[in-house]
Structure 1
Amino acid sequence: MNTGTVRLTVGQAVVRFLTAQWSERDGYRQRLFAGCFGIFGHGNVAGLGQALLQHELAGGAERLPYVLARNEQAMVHTAVAYARQLDRLQTWACTASVGPGSTNMLTGAALATVNRIPVLLLPSGTFATRVAAPVLQELEVPYAADVTVNDAFRPLSRFFDRIDRPEQLPSALLGAMRVLTDPVETGAVTVALPQDVQAEAYDWPVELFAERVWRVARPLPEAADLADAAALVKAARRPMIVAGGGVHYSGAEDALRALCEATGIPVGETQAGKGALPHGHPQAMGAVGSTGTTAANALAAEADLVIGVGTRYSDFTTASRTAFQDPAVRFVNINVARFDAGKHAGLPVVADAREALTALTAALDGHAVDPAYRELQARLWQDWDARVEAAYHPSAEVTDALADGVLTQGAVLGRVNELSDPRDVVVCAAGSMPGDLHKLWRVRDRKAYHVEYGYSCMGYEIPGGIGVRMADPSRDVFVMVGDGSYLMMPSELVTAVQERIKVIVVLVQNHGFHSIGSLSESLGSQRFGTAYRYRDPATGRLTGSRLPVDLAANARSLGATVIEVRSPAELDQAIKNAKAADGGPIVIHVETDPTVHAPDSAAWWDVPVSQVSDLDTTRAAYEEYAAHKTTQRPLLAPIEPIERTDS
């Protein structure tokens, strides 16, 4: 074993340490950190910035390349998307300057932790010594001199530490790696680095920089839990699986498919779990919940047993606890996290999804649902698939009612879906399109659907698409983004131009917030404040004519190749041209009508309505809301003692 010390700054030590970390699962190893995103300013320019420069000049750029971002929040989104595309086995570090540079990463930290995606954040801080306090961009708190703006990362991080002395660094870095590679605990990991500490030299033990392999575990299910789960499945007449993101992160798609084909149990998918079964599989009922298919939701309403696999049961998945209406419905929850496995008073099977599904299939050998239940699945899906076809290819009655050059959103999604390759990835996050994609998109590959809906963060789409493409350059990436979300974070197009990263951005212009406009209307608020309009001088309200915003010109000014389309035929050609292109980002600009909606999911989402109002629309919406509330259920039915014969 090497012994001795090496003298490095804290920043230099961090960089050298990160290059020596590896993750491993099923015998396959990869570097844990693909690189470091950053924006330099005072606080990190002479610390981590100097260390990354030194690393690059020494020929180490291939091990930890540096990529310049344009927005600190966006670079975290890119790291998150990269890690998700690679099943959380590899990620990026992100560094930012003191004050606003670092706090700009807070939204990204929340997104990573909500979605349980590993990303390492290295925010800079003010002086640990406080010799020059207060310094530029320092927060002064009268009651606690040790509080800094970086304390805001604490509730958003799965691990947090601040390095006030070099001696604290080794334990902090090792703790950070433990959490980043733990499928239960992972999320945003924050190691805050005051600016003076980053530049401070120390004699480090050389063992700190030895290569370390962090094995990502696959916990096995307890035999008793598995036996109880099998007994519940055998006793159920209308079982249903809800597939969440854990299916993908575990690589459990084949195991799920084997279970479904053997038993005939249908599958509804969450946003994170979409694609767990490929489109066209007999048991694939598509999306479930508030943005679900009528097929999956009809089965959910009558299910007497719900088998959740790698899902945290968000309100969209359960339609705010109205999706599962059988009074005797029970839950079996397969999840690597005990916290999620215990939801809805379910039987917890705490295990890796792939291992649990494989074991459950063996335990159910010879068992299958009634043939009539399979036939019901086929009928429900056939009806829904016809509705998707109608949305993809709207009738003349629908298209004739549109303004010249305006398409429906469903038709846009349909053309992209049908003209993209099976391995191409669709990326989205916020607005009306995630719901439409969840219902309508036909997934043909396990990693071809990437919608961030845990935090549903506006602005994620373009940096997220960059991360997906960086993770797998063999796939084309279609970023579906509305004008509202585009305006939140168009700056990362410049990063894509700089790095020659090809992403195909389908920019849907509908002159406002489509999703919230529709929601506002349904809640009796008359789309108030959701359209991009001039203020009417006569009324003082934002109800004037449309703003003359040219987003195509904006994208072009940032260096992207832009294709403007005004018909289905032009859209088809634009998609083909974009796929054939090389190099940086391509933006396809298309206008849609926000009043033409995708097929209804026949499900609900709980958003409270004003209980009293002077507005007729609000009063009517509240009556409807109150009616839906009567169908909301606590989902607390206990699992009764199970009689089984153990072999």
Structure 2
Amino acid sequence: MTSHYPYDAAPTLRLTVGQAIVRFLSNQWSERDGVEQRLVAGMFGIFGHGNVAGIGQGLLQDQVALETQEQGGGPTGADEQHLPYYLARNEQGAVHAAAAYAKTTERLQTLAVTSSIGPGALNMVTGAALATTNRLPVLLFPSDQFSTRYPDPVLQQLEDPRSLDVSVNDAFKPVSRFWDRINRPEQLIPSLLNAMRVLTDPAETGAVVICLPQDVQAEAFDWPVEMFRKRVWHVARPVPEPAALKRAVEAIKAAKKPLLVAGGGVIYSGASEVLRAFTTATGIPVADTQAGKGAINFDHALSVGGLGSTGNSAANTLAREADLVIGVGTRYSDFTTASHTVFANPDVRFVNVNVTAFDAAKHSATMLVSDAREALSALQDGLDGWSTDAAYQQRAADLWAEWDKVIEECYHRDHQPLPAQTEVFGALNELMGERDVVINAAGSMPGDLQALWRARTPEQYHLEYAFSCMGYEIPASMGVRLALDAAGHTDRKVVAIVGDGTYQMLPMELATIVSEQLNVIFVILDNSGFASIGALSESRGSQRFGTKYRMRNRESGRLDGGPVPFDIAANAESWGATVLRCNGIEEFKNGYATAVQTPGAVVLYIQTDLTGPNPPGCAWWDVPVSEVSELESTQQAFTEYTAEKKVQRHYL
């Protein structure tokens, strides 16, 4: 089928939809603070029916044009941009890598992902949800069924008798910030422009999904040349509205025990230096969320570390006493508020700084809808000459000093016969450079890391805990490594900490990392089970049921037999990685020294104790317990749960 641009006078370029997408993306840029960068730095994909002859052919044509240009021939200009292509092994992994790339670049760049129709497209839904939950821009092109419906039903098409227009791609709607389906080529123009708008809007960003029927991808159209010019999308820094700023300043001046909660928005805004200046000038202690750790250096005099269910005693003690909480760039997740128990002062009030009004309004706060850097600078000016008293600042310092002793103990336990995972974290924290990147996402490890990790810079701590998606770590390391290499930071190390459970969910991007010859260090902790959920199960009276990797016991019929004979180290080696088996912490430290000198993907494999010990708990998490049970352990847990829930309250 052939389509024509209706205005014959306008210069046009005849391309397929797939070719037009590649050409358009190659010329999109973002800008913030006068610095421009490619908005879409490349495309991941796995080709199947739907995209192999559409976007796939467009990427091939682009690659051939690049080769021709490099050889000094062809009609392309010397400054023409091209779109690198990366072959992933799993579509979900590709989206995770794109999200990690965006996080590493402070949301100023991302990667696109193309998939085939049906299962290939549906594999990306989890990744889309992760990106949207974390407010990270990713651009997804799932293929779709035929627009003409001549082949009907096509291979891998979901048939819904209620509507022939429904496909698996409709599943993206609740997990994306922008969704569209292109049934005619000319629809692509406004769709792509809106996609770029959402990708570069700090308040609206998340997963952007453009569904592409496979026949439309290959259809030709006379596109206006204007569509392919260089287009710069300016990333806004909204400034505080004067009246709102005045209200926030008045609220802070009225407080005796204010606490600032630094979220991911501080890091995405590049506001770390301004935050340090603000807290130094005002004497307000700073706690951090998982996304905000490193926003202020851990050794700053008023830094008190992680807050909430996985936080520490210093931050949580101050949170319980605070009469004012200043949330900067945080969405106040369940863990941050310890299920609405950690801010325990009955008179507590909130001032929230966020580019998103939805988050700024939480807890009936005094709202400051603004970029974090701009707001902190304006607040400091408005608070000139005001500060908390010296006794309060000293209390914050003393509480942190007490917790720092706990960190030392957790890092150097010498636990036998297997080390605690906190000892591995301690070794890494001491061995890694301040601008190296540690990556993690799910299980018990994020809790230990938030409580214990001493982050010196905003770049060092890369935790995905908004969605806490098992399987994120390996593909994320690829996205981080690609972003750092593109920025010329080849000397910075990327270390992904992977549990045995999360490894078994999504290990295949190791092959992609090996094929791309990327330098990544993987630390695989094998404890033969789920430490986090096991401990949670035990505390809720469910006796760690179903949380250990064990063979089926033919006599009992339960999973309480011998260990499963799965060799994770050998499996990692089969993907092409260099594997170093470490027996204990000293061998691990020696292995790390070897790993940093070894090119490519290196795996440090170490066995750890499933039951910890972990850092002492300092706050609550609301996980309901069975109200009735024949098990005494569950009955006891319900009694404890009922008592603990009494202190929970809405912050309105």
Specify the alignment match of 1:39 in structure 2.
Answer: 46
| Contact 1:564 1:590 survives alignment (8 Å) | yes
Q: How many angstroms does 1:600 deviate by?
A: 1.7
Matched, 1:523 2:540: yes
Q: How many angstroms does 1:567 deviate by?
A: 1.8
Counterpart pick for 2:568 among 551, 555, 569: 551
Specify the alignment match of 1:164 in structure 2.
Answer: 183
Specify the alignment match of 2:592 in structure 1.
Answer: 575
Counterpart pick for 1:258 among 260, 266, 277: 277
Q: How many angstroms does 1:370 deviate by?
A: 0.9
Specify the alignment match of 1:643 in structure 2.
Answer: none
Q: Determine the C-alpha separation between the residues in 1 that align with 2:312 and 2:623.
A: 20
Q: Determine the C-alpha separation between the residues in 2 that align with 1:326 and 1:143.
A: 53
The residue identity in structure 1 corresponding to 2:479 is: G
Specify the alignment match of 2:471 in structure 1.
Answer: 459
Counterpart pick for 2:13 among 2, 6, 16: 6
Counterpart pick for 1:539 among 544, 551, 556: 556
Could you list the per-position Cα deviations for residues 243-273 of structure 1 after superposition, in whole angstroms to 9, with x for gaps in the alignment?
1000001011111111100111001101000
| Contact 2:118 2:156 survives alignment (8 Å) | yes
Report matched runs for 1:16-55 at 5 Å: 16-55=23-62
Q: Determine the C-alpha separation between the residues in 2 that align with 1:449 and 1:393.
A: 21
Report matched runs for 1:61-140 at 5 Å: 63-140=82-159
| Contact 2:44 2:88 survives alignment (8 Å) | yes
Matched, 1:441 2:460: no
Report matched runs for 1:317-328 at 5 Å: 317-328=336-347
TM-score, structure 1 as length reference = 0.96
Specify the alignment match of 1:478 in structure 2.
Answer: 495
Report matched runs for 1:322-361 at 5 Å: 322-361=341-380
Q: How many angstroms does 1:514 deviate by?
A: 1.1
Q: Determine the C-alpha separation between the residues in 2 that align with 1:134 and 1:569.
A: 60
Counterpart pick for 2:385 among 341, 346, 366: 366
| Contact 1:127 1:195 survives alignment (8 Å) | yes
Matched, 1:155 2:171: no
Specify the alignment match of 2:307 in structure 1.
Answer: 288
TM-score, structure 2 as length reference = 0.95
Q: Determine the C-alpha separation between the residues in 2 that align with 1:595 and 1:169.
A: 53
The residue identity in structure 2 corresponding to 1:13 is: A
| Contact 2:498 2:522 survives alignment (8 Å) | yes
Counterpart pick for 1:274 among 293, 302, 305: 293
SS at structure 2 position matched to 1:59: helix
The residue identity in structure 2 corresponding to 1:600 is: P
Report matched runs for 1:492-641 at 5 Å: 492-582=509-599, 584-636=600-652
| Contact 1:34 1:63 survives alignment (8 Å) | no
Q: Determine the C-alpha separation between the residues in 2 that align with 1:281 and 1:197.
A: 56
SS at structure 1 position matched to 2:129: helix
The residue identity in structure 1 corresponding to 2:588 is: L
Specify the alignment match of 1:418 in structure 2.
Answer: 430
The residue identity in structure 2 corresponding to 1:631 is: V
Q: Determine the C-alpha separation between the residues in 2 that align with 1:407 and 1:540.
A: 32
SS at structure 1 position matched to 2:550: coil
Q: Determine the C-alpha separation between the residues in 2 that align with 1:246 and 1:455.
A: 16
Q: Determine the C-alpha separation between the residues in 2 that align with 1:3 and 1:33.
A: 27
Specify the alignment match of 2:77 in structure 1.
Answer: none
Specify the alignment match of 1:642 in structure 2.
Answer: none
Report matched runs for 1:162-311 at 5 Å: 162-311=181-330
| Contact 1:297 1:601 survives alignment (8 Å) | no
Q: Determine the C-alpha separation between the residues in 2 that align with 1:446 and 1:529.
A: 37
Q: Determine the C-alpha separation between the residues in 1 that align with 2:128 and 2:220.
A: 29
Q: How many angstroms does 1:598 deviate by?
A: 2.1
| Contact 2:23 2:82 survives alignment (8 Å) | no
Could you list the per-position Cα deviations for residues 108-140 of structure 1 after superposition, in whole angstroms to 9, with x for gaps in the alignment?
000010111000000001100000101110111
| Contact 2:420 2:614 survives alignment (8 Å) | no
| Contact 1:25 1:216 survives alignment (8 Å) | yes
Q: How many angstroms does 1:63 deviate by?
A: 2.7
Q: How many angstroms does 1:597 deviate by?
A: 2.6
Q: Determine the C-alpha separation between the residues in 2 that align with 1:227 and 1:132.
A: 63
Q: Determine the C-alpha separation between the residues in 2 that align with 1:470 and 1:14.
A: 22
Q: How many angstroms does 1:76 deviate by?
A: 0.2
SS at structure 1 position matched to 2:165: coil
| Contact 2:477 2:496 survives alignment (8 Å) | yes
| Contact 1:321 1:633 survives alignment (8 Å) | yes
SS at structure 2 position matched to 1:414: helix
Could you list the per-position Cα deviations for residues 329-365 of structure 1 after superposition, in whole angstroms to 9, with x for gaps in the alignment?
0000000000100000000000000000000001111
| Contact 2:63 2:82 survives alignment (8 Å) | no
The residue identity in structure 2 corresponding to 1:39 is: I
Q: Determine the C-alpha separation between the residues in 2 that align with 1:410 and 1:82.
A: 27
SS at structure 1 position matched to 2:560: coil
Equivalent pairs counted in the alignment come to 627
| Contact 1:79 1:91 survives alignment (8 Å) | yes
SS at structure 2 position matched to 1:630: helix
The residue identity in structure 1 corresponding to 2:580 is: I
| Contact 1:184 1:337 survives alignment (8 Å) | yes
Q: How many angstroms does 1:601 deviate by?
A: 3.4
Could you list the per-position Cα deviations for residues 25-84 of structure 1 after superposition, in whole angstroms to 9, with x for gaps in the alignment?
011000101100000000000000000000001007973100000000000000000000
The residue identity in structure 2 corresponding to 1:44 is: N
Q: How many angstroms does 1:225 deviate by?
A: 1.0
Q: Determine the C-alpha separation between the residues in 2 that align with 1:547 and 1:49.
A: 41
Q: Determine the C-alpha separation between the residues in 2 that align with 1:350 and 1:517.
A: 41
| Contact 1:239 1:304 survives alignment (8 Å) | yes
Q: Determine the C-alpha separation between the residues in 1 that align with 2:186 and 2:394.
A: 66
Q: Determine the C-alpha separation between the residues in 2 that align with 1:42 and 1:466.
A: 26
The residue identity in structure 2 corresponding to 1:424 is: D
Q: Determine the C-alpha separation between the residues in 1 that align with 2:99 and 2:213.
A: 24
| Contact 1:33 1:91 survives alignment (8 Å) | yes
| Contact 1:318 1:324 survives alignment (8 Å) | yes
Q: How many angstroms does 1:545 deviate by?
A: 1.2
**Greater than 4 Å deviation, 4+ residue runs:** none
SS at structure 2 position matched to 1:407: coil
Q: How many angstroms does 1:3 deviate by?
A: 4.3
Q: Determine the C-alpha separation between the residues in 2 that align with 1:380 and 1:287.
A: 13
Could you list the per-position Cα deviations for residues 524-563 of structure 1 after superposition, in whole angstroms to 9, with x for gaps in the alignment?
1001001000111111010111111100000001100000
Could you list the per-position Cα deviations for residues 299-348 of structure 1 after superposition, in whole angstroms to 9, with x for gaps in the alignment?
00000000000000000000000000111000000000001000000000
Q: Which ranges in structure 1 are unaligned for 5 or more consecutive residues?
A: 637-647
Could you list the per-position Cα deviations for residues 471-527 of structure 1 after superposition, in whole angstroms to 9, with x for gaps in the alignment?
113220110110000111110000000000111000000001111111111111001
